[in-house]
Amino acid sequence: MIDRETIDRIYAAANIVDIVGDYVTLRRKGVNYEACCPFHQEKTPSFKVSPARGIYKCFGCGKSGNAINFIMETESATYPEALRIVAKRYGIEVREEAMTEEDIARNNNRESMFALNAWAAEYFQRYMFMEDEGRSVGLSYFSSLRGFSDATIRKFGLGFCPSSGLRFLEDCRAAGYKDEFLLSTGLAFQRESDGALRDRFYDRVMFPIHNVSGRVVGFGGRTLRTDKKVAKYQNSPESEIYNKRRELYGLFFAKKAIQQEDCAIMVEGYADVISMHQAGVENVVASSGTSLTEEQVRLLSRFTRNMTLMFDGDAAGVKAALRGVDIVLKEDMNVRIVLLPEEHDPDTFARAHSSEELRKYISDNAQDFLAFKARLLLGEATSDPLKRSEAIQDMVQSIAVIPDQIKRSEYVRYCAEIMNVEQQVLAVAVARKLDGIRGNGEAQDFLTRQQRRDYDRATPQSLYVAKPEQGDERPQLTAGTTIDTLEREVAKYLLKYGHLDFVVVEDKEEFQFNVARYIFEELEADGLQLREGVYRSIYELYRAEWERLGDGVEVPTHVFVSHADNAVASTSIDLLTSDDGYVISKIWEMKDVHIESVEEQLSEGVPKVVILFKWRMLEARMSELKAIIGSASEEDEELASTVALFTKYQAARVAIAKTVGRLI
């Protein structure tokens, strides 16, 4: 288990803008940053990053956290794994305390698999550079046949696996790696004939596959044999750390360039990516020979909404270009296509041209994908009515998956013109397809071309619905004003405003209070405290820090957002990034009063929340006493004292109700 001192150093070093910026394209907005959320699909950025507080929050899906939480979410990592990832980034030595057996069982598997993969990648490259077989086979292939420089080879971690079939396995064991992890990573497999283990990638040149943060999650191995019975490529099987549907080859090396260019170029193979990088065009990734998946497209959309497909110009390349693009359109990406001359693929084309020539070719030949597809299908259909109908239906399918209504309308108009089809006929066909995709409402909306935007936002309820009626001592509170809700507001006032002062006017005399002191003294005067749970933990943690620092000193937010208890950290982040409409603004909107400053809002909000919390706690205790009185017999010796206590609480409730009446 990582010791507390190391954890504190990691949190202190972690720059949330740098870390989040490795996964999404952040744009500065005032003192903060914003982006489209990496955790759900959206067009308008609602994901905010606060460098001052070291936190992020999406106001669309509600996800929030600190730098460590972000790594946990994006990498599907455990808390210790996320700490190690950040520590490695900042060169912090991770010191660990003795772990329990439960800790070891929980953390060992994934970390051991990552460690083995990292060791294997270094081993394959070292073998290729240092051993005779590696140099004569692997290195000559990469440098002589592929034209990769030593710098490129080392950048992408290329290597060679020994041809014996057992050499790598034996060296792994000698280095202390267990067979169970050789099997779970797929670096070895078990023969059916005798159950013995054997190297999976023997006699192959090796391409390590990195995830978006740069950790090796798997491998691709290419045979150099001409035997057609041997598969040309062998890839790592899926494992706890590798899912091919979620990974894009080269993204770790391309993400900065993708952000700068605001465009990603998609190719097919490992060599295509590497040659393009070496040629100076680095915003390139590959789906590694498989059809694009939703997960891959969503991963890429964190960095850009623009994608250019680059494929061979032959028939196979054209078919590859068509494969899976509806998935890209469905994710609201802007897709263009570049077809290369028939004699080239991206690898050979990049090696035959300079960086400037390559960029110019892409710029001059990129065309809108759906326009390309429409012309292609129309050319294949010629004058055959049945083929033309099939081509139109194919286009209808692609247009219908596009989420943006305006974009759909434009493509209907454009494709109707290209394919010589009446625009209304094509629009009706798209609308019918929408019936099965999104429902009749959107289909009708599309047909009538009425642009609709949903601005409905859930507005917080006011704490009050009215003043208490004359003679009724009970304040008319909404059902939502529960003890839990009020405890949340108490904790929020402490975190956001505990260091500030506010003024209360009583009988024309002004009294100044510190927010934190007022809350602590008011609750403790009546023997009240927050109930068990995360709000009480925050309350007590703030109280301890406040007593140490004193009135008027802001308690550092990292004490809460970097807390070892994830519930405290995540709840604190949620409170710090929440608005204040629930307690303050809505009350005053009903009275048509404009609040000019935070301090003025606190003058009303803090006393209201405190008195309402007292009221709800009093109600809860009176309910308990009422139940006891109702079930007690007249002979019960404690009945009289219980009734007396109930009467005392009832009098207190009347006094509180009068205060509430004045405040409202």
For residue 322 the two structure tokens come to 């068509």
Least Cα distance to 463 among 442, 437, 488, 438 occurs for 488
Least Cα distance to 253 among 197, 211, 207, 191 occurs for 211
Task: Give 249's DSSP letter.
Answer: B
Expressed as residue numbers, the domain containing 125 is 103-242
Q: Residue 456 — pLDDT band, cuts 50, 70, 90?
A: very low
The DSSP code sequence of 425-473 is HHHHHHHHHHHHHT-HHHHHHHHHT---------PPPPSEEEPPPTT--
- 293 in a domain, yes or no? yes
| Same domain (yes/no): 172, 225 | yes
The span from the CA of 13 to the CA of 496, in Å, is 23
Please check the confidence at residue 382 and state whether its pLDDT lies above 60.
yes
Q: Residue 242 — pLDDT band, cuts 50, 70, 90?
A: very high
pLDDT of residue 454: 29
| Same domain (yes/no): 205, 151 | yes
| Same domain (yes/no): 69, 115 | no
Q: Which residue has the tokens 């604190």?
A: 572
Report for 120-129, 261-270, 457-466, 491-500: range of highest mean pLDDT = 120-129
Please check the confidence at residue 401 and state whether its pLDDT lies above 80.
yes
| Same domain (yes/no): 76, 193 | no
Overall domain count for the chain:
5
User: What tens digit of pLDDT does each residue of 328-339 get?
Assistant: 888 888 899 998
Please check the confidence at residue 318 and state whether its pLDDT lies above 90.
no
Region 200-210: what's the mean pLDDT?
96
User: What tens digit of pLDDT does each residue of 364-378 get?
Assistant: 999 988 888 888 887
| Same domain (yes/no): 41, 150 | no
Q: Which helix (H) or strand (E) holds 544?
A: helix 534-549
> Which CATH number do you get for residue 201?
3.90.980.10
Please check the confidence at residue 186 and state whether its pLDDT lies above 90.
yes
Region 391-400: what's the mean pLDDT?
85
Report for 31-40, 118-127, 440-449: range of highest mean pLDDT = 118-127
Region 614-621: what's the mean pLDDT?
79
- 576 in a domain, yes or no? yes
| Same domain (yes/no): 490, 551 | yes
Burial of residue 347 (CB within 10 Å: 0-12, 13-18, 19+) is buried
- 306 in a domain, yes or no? yes
Region 445-461: what's the mean pLDDT?
36
Q: Where is pLDDT greater, at 341 or 632?
A: 341
Least Cα distance to 19 among 62, 59, 65, 70 occurs for 70
| Same domain (yes/no): 442, 490 | no
| Same domain (yes/no): 157, 264 | no
pLDDT of residue 475: 46
Compute how many other C-beta atoms are within 10 angstroms of the C-beta atom of residue 590.
12
- 374 in a domain, yes or no? no
Please check the confidence at residue 83 and state whether its pLDDT lies above 80.
yes
User: What tens digit of pLDDT does each residue of 480-506 get?
Assistant: 467 888 888 899 999 888 888 888 777
3-state secondary structure of 277: helix
Q: Which of 137-151, 408-422, 452-466 has the lowest mean pLDDT?
A: 452-466
| Same domain (yes/no): 509, 658 | yes
User: What tens digit of pLDDT does each residue of 9-62 get?
Assistant: 788 778 889 899 888 889 888 878 999 888 888 878 889 998 877 889 888 888
Q: Which residues contact 303 (CB under 8 A, 6 or more apart)?
A: 23, 24, 25, 255, 258, 259, 264
User: What tens digit of pLDDT does each residue of 549-577 get?
Assistant: 877 788 888 788 878 787 888 888 888 87
Region 396-406: what's the mean pLDDT?
84
